[in-house]
């Protein structure tokens, strides 16, 4: 019926046509029997797989049936037009409005009368005769009835449409009632195609659905991937894994619409419940503790990326970090539990970042920069001057440096300080004993004194820091706070003044050649104003100085201090030099020289010239003191005083002027009451011992 109405509905005039009442669905009119009733409302009669709706003639009660819905729709459309024209269709039009002759199978069937009223044709308007003639009923009309005298199709009344609509309404009501009654069961069970957490629970109650879902996880297992061990598994049975939804499933059923069961046959509805599966905590912990990756005794701690160890001639490189196998056990346990309760198929502990990670990786910017900076340090090659043999290069420096964590290099200050101390120990000769092959042939040791090399450790350390950081390659002489003559061999070199207090005789060598050999008078032994032994340097030299002390003022032409107020000067007031004069008639600490000797010495020495003062037992004078010689005299004082039988004394050179034997005569101020600490007349300060190579200005403290 719906099909028929849909096709007829294409004609707008059909809306006003009363179709009358239709028989029950499935009723069929044929030539054999007038009516065939189906056994059930949904049955299909064998004559036609698709029953076509029928209607009944109101005048005589006969049923009409069309061959198809198309021809029925055409007939309805024709009837609607006739009604719109307020006329009655002619027999010809009625016969062929979608109706076929009786001779063809399944034609519609009507009772007709040959004497039927033909007033329809007579009622047509007179003004159009042509239309009347064309609308006349043919003389011979095919038989459309089971009788020999077929009748024209009857008029269809307005009640036919009502019958069709009523039939449709009844069918719809029955269908709706059946749909609703069937859907009532979904108050208790899940609708079709309902899937919860991957389990199809269609038609299941809440209790049955929970049982079904628990059965679905009985075979569940979690695969656990870990570092350096085989994959492991935890099974549902190991931990008593089960669902406990409470009233969640019942609520889902109660929220269903029972009227949606039909469409749900054609669509899938999935639910994912946040409610996790539950497990037995004790059994779960036991299962986790048994996993190979949880054996703490086998853990390997991670190793940070770092700079490689030093290899001779090779640069530093960044060594990649080592991940290790040390698991964060507490965090890993919680992650595994979560995976089991949410039915995850596997968990990768590495991807979940559950291992203790290295703090520094190979791509660390600061580490890479530090490696480059340390390689710059390794380029350093510093060779120190002299016969020290000290070299500073990568072979030593690799132990001094390390990354500072900020892209730079940390220098080990303790190792730098140790190097500087060793450097000073190698170079420093200040205040250290010095070995001298004396002019008498014996080797003497000159102890103490202020002469010698002294490394300026602070200055050298500062220079080294910068040199190392820039990878300097150079030959280096250390920074000195005090200098001497030579870095090789004896620090006093080949130019020096040799003073033998025992022999009361001195020599002056310049560039290895002896220029002076002369007697002198040193400090007074009896009065305690002795001349001190040691290695010194001439502080400065001055002409025409006045040596002042308590109770005296002694002018001299040549003044050459070497140890505070002790120094060389001419002593024109003396008539004799050498011998034993110094024992009781010696000076206040200075070395008194004959004027001509003092002049020659003054002209050849400079500030910094070494002065070596020592005693040599066995070289004491054996003969009486001779008169003071003139500068032109060439005999050596050693010739007059040295003991030939003393194996420790050698013959003195003869090129230096010798003293004449004479009685010692005390000069100005050399009295019992003379001051032991005379000073020079200028009053300028004089350097203390230990300041050797820097020439001070003339100062007080000069001793005659």
Give 196's contacts (C-beta < 8 A, 6+ positions apart): 190, 209, 213, 249, 252, 270, 271, 272, 273
d(CA 395, CA 190) in angstroms, rounded, equals: 83
Catalytic-residue membership of 293: no
- Helix then strand count (H, E) for the chain reads 19, 29
- In DSSP notation, 165-225 reads HHHHHHHHHHHHHHHHHHHGGGGTSPPTTEEETTEE-TT--HHHHHHHHHHHTTT-EEEEE
d(CA 156, CA 55) in angstroms, rounded, equals: 9
Which of 78, 306, 505, 569 is an active site residue?
A: 569
SS3 85: coil
Tokens standing for residue 332 = 């890993």
By C-alpha distance, which of 201, 199, 202, 209 is closest to 244? Answer: 209
By C-alpha distance, which of 602, 609, 604, 450 is closest to 541? Answer: 602
- Crossing angle of the two packed helices 365-378 and 457-469, in degrees rounded to 10: 120
In 98-150, the DSSP E strands lie at: none
If 0-12 CB within 10 Å is exposed, 13-18 middle and 19+ buried, where does residue 80 land?
Answer: buried
Integer Rg of the chain from CA: 69
What one-character DSSP code corresponds to residue 578? S
Q: Dihedrals φ, ψ of 462, to 5°?
A: -60, -40
Give 403's contacts (C-beta < 8 A, 6+ positions apart): 307, 366, 367, 370, 371, 374, 409, 410
* Whole-number Cα distances in Å, 649 to 338, 438, 578, 626, 699: 103, 9, 16, 20, 37
d(CA 17, CA 20) in angstroms, rounded, equals: 9
Catalytic-residue membership of 590: yes
Tokens standing for residue 668 = 């100005």
Give 304's contacts (C-beta < 8 A, 6+ positions apart): 321, 358, 359, 360, 361
**C-alpha dihedral sign at 579, 585, 591, 594:** negative
Task: Assign residue 391 a region (left: φ > 0; alpha: ψ between -120 and 50; beta: otherwise).
Answer: beta
Note whether 561 and 539 are within 8 A (CB). Answer: yes
- Return the H-helix or E-strand segment holding 232: strand 232-235
SS3 163: helix
Note whether 637 and 624 are within 8 A (CB). Answer: no
Cα 576 from chain centre: 88
Which of 78, 505, 588, 590 is an active site residue?
A: 590
By C-alpha distance, which of 695, 178, 195, 219 is closest to 483? Answer: 695
Chain length of the chain: 704
Note whether 620 and 654 are within 8 A (CB). Answer: no
If 0-12 CB within 10 Å is exposed, 13-18 middle and 19+ buried, where does residue 187 land?
Answer: exposed
Note whether 194 and 48 are within 8 A (CB). Answer: no
d(CA 643, CA 651) in angstroms, rounded, equals: 9
Strand partners, 238: none
In 387-428, the DSSP E strands lie at: 391-393, 401-403, 409-411
Q: Dihedrals φ, ψ of 131, to 5°?
A: -65, -40
Positions marked catalytic: 569, 590
């Amino acid at each position: 019926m719906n099909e028929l109405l849909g096709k007829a509905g294409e004609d707008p005039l059909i809306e006003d046509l009363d179709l009358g009442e239709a028989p029950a669905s499935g009723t069929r009119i044929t030539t054999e029997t007038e009516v065939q009733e189906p056994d059930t409302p949904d049955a299909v009669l064998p004559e036609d797989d698709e029953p076509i709706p029928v209607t009944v003639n109101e005048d005589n009660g006969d049923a009409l049936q069309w061959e198809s819905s198309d021809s029925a729709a055409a007939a309805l459309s024709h009837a609607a037009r006739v009604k719109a024209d307020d006329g009655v269709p002619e027999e010809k039009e009625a016969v062929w409005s979608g109706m076929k002759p009786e001779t063809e199978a399944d034609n519609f069937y009507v009772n007709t009368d040959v004497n039927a009223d033909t007033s329809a044709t007579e009622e047509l308007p007179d003004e159009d005769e042509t239309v009347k003639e064309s609308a006349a009923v043919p003389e011979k009309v095919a038989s459309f009835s089971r009788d020999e005298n077929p009748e024209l199709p009857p008029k269809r009344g307005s009640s036919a449409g009502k019958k069709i609509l009523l039939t449709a309404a009844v069918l719809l009501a029955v269908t709706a009632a059946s749909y609703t009654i069937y859907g009532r069961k979904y108050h208790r069970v899940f609708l079709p195609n309902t899937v919860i957490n991957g389990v199809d629970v269609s038609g299941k109650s809440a209790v049955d659905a929970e049982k079904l879902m628990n059965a679905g996880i009985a075979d569940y297992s979690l695969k656990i991937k870990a570092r350096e061990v085989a994959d492991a598994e935890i099974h549902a049975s190991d931990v008593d894994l089960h669902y406990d939804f409470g009233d969640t499933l019942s609520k889902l059923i109660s929220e269903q619409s029972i009227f949606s069961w039909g469409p749900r046959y054609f669509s899938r509805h999935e639910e994912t419940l946040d409610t996790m599966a539950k497990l037995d905590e004790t059994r779960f912990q036991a299962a986790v503790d048994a996993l190979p990756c949880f054996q703490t005794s086998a853990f390997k701690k991670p190793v940070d990326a770092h700079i490689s160890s030093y290899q001779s001639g090779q640069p530093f490189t960044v060594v990649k970090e080592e991940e290790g196998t040390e698991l964060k056990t507490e965090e890993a346990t919680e992650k595994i539990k979560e995976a089991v309760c949410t039915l995850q198929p596997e968990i990768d502990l590495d991807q979940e970042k559950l291992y203790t990670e290295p703090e520094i990786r190979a791509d660390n910017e600061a580490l890479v920069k530090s490696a480059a900076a340390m390689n710059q340090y390794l380029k350093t090659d510093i060779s120190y001057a002299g016969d020290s043999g000290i070299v500073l290069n990568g072979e030593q420096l690799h132990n001094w440096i390390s990354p500072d964590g900020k892209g730079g290099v940390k220098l080990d200050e303790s190792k730098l300080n140790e190097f500087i101390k060793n450097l000073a120990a190698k170079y420093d000769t200040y205040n250290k004993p010095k070995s001298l092959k004396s002019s008498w042939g014996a080797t003497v040791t000159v102890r103490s004194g202020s002469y010698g090399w002294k490394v300026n450790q602070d200055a050298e350390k500062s220079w080294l820091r910068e040199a190392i950081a820039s990878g300097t390659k150079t030959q280096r002489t250390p920074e000195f706070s005090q200098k001497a003559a030579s870095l090789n061999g004896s620090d006093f070199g080949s130019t020096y003044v040799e003073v033998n207090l025992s022999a009361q005789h001195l020599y002056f060598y310049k560039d290895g050649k002896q220029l002076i050999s002369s007697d002198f008078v040193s400090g007074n032994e009896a009065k305690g104003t002795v001349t001190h032994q040691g290695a010194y340097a001439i502080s400065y030299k001055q002409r025409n100085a006045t040596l002042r002390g308590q109770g005296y003022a002694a002018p001299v032409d040549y003044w050459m201090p070497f140890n505070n107020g002790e120094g060389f000067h001419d002593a024109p007031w003396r008539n004799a030099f050498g011998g034993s004069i110094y024992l009781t008639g010696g000076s206040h600490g200075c070395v008194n020289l004959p004027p001509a000797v003092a002049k020659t010495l003054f002209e050849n020495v400079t500030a910094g010239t070494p002065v070596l003062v020592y005693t040599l037992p066995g070289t004491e004078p054996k003969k009486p003191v001779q008169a003071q010689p003139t500068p032109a005299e060439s005999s050596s004082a050693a010739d007059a005083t040295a003991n030939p039988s003393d194996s420790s004394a050698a013959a003195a050179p003869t090129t230096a002027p010798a003293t004449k034997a004479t009685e010692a005569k005390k000069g100005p101020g050399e009295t019992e009451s003379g001051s032991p600490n005379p000073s020079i007349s200028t009053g300028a300060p004089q350097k203390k011992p230990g300041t050797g190579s820097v020439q001070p200005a003339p100062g007080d403290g000069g001793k005659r």
